[in-house]
Amino acid sequence: MRRLVLVTGVLLCFSAWADNAIEPIKKWTLLDQNDKAYTLDDDAQVLLVARSMSAARLLNAAVEDAPAGYLEARHMIYVADIEKMPSLVQVVAVPAMRSAKYRILLDREGRVASGYQGDRESVQWLTLKNGAVVQETRYTDGSKLKQAIADQAHP
């Protein structure tokens, strides 16, 4: 009887371990500046996260002169954490973002950006593989960020 209990316990442990090993990558959906939904998928190779106005300005400066579709062609996703932005400022800032030639996903509640454990002083560059983060880099220098984006492989 002890052996049966022991074997069953071991099998349950291996089963739980196996379930965790193949747990699907957590997906999320956010609206962009034009209120169009985007769900993180396996095609995304880089997630750029800006958690403050200064980080957003840094990222904007790096891509503002790029043609439409520049980030998308490089399989890059830009998330702006606007949770701490006062609602009166959002009323002005979000419509102003609509003129951007690239998609800005708006994290209004901070539920997505907070899951990536970044800071507010830098642009967080998260290299993804099948939706999972495999590498992290942080940029505070606009020219280095611009060069890194330009160097990102695209078809």
Q: What CATH number does the domain containing 54 carry?
A: 3.40.30.10
pLDDT exceeds cutoff 50 at 123 = yes
Give the pLDDT band of residue 19 (cuts 50, 70, 90): very low
Partners of residue 80 on adjacent β-strands = 50, 106
User: Residue 124 domain-assigned?
Assistant: yes
User: Residue 10 domain-assigned?
Assistant: no
User: Residue 67 domain-assigned?
Assistant: yes
Instruction: Choose between 26 and 106: higher pLDDT.
Output: 106
User: Residue 51 domain-assigned?
Assistant: yes
Residue 104, domain extent: 26-151
Among 126, 152, 148, residue whose Cα is nearest residue 46: 126
Average pLDDT over residues 16-24: 38
User: Residue 3 domain-assigned?
Assistant: no
Number of domains in the chain: 1
User: Residue 18 domain-assigned?
Assistant: no
User: Residue 89 domain-assigned?
Assistant: yes
Give the pLDDT band of residue 22 (cuts 50, 70, 90): very low
Give the pLDDT band of residue 17 (cuts 50, 70, 90): very low
Query: DSSP alpha helices (H): ranges in the chain?
Result: 2-21, 53-63, 70-73, 87-97, 142-151
pLDDT reported for residue 27:
87
User: Residue 8 domain-assigned?
Assistant: no
Average pLDDT over residues 24-29: 72
CA 1 to chain centre: 51
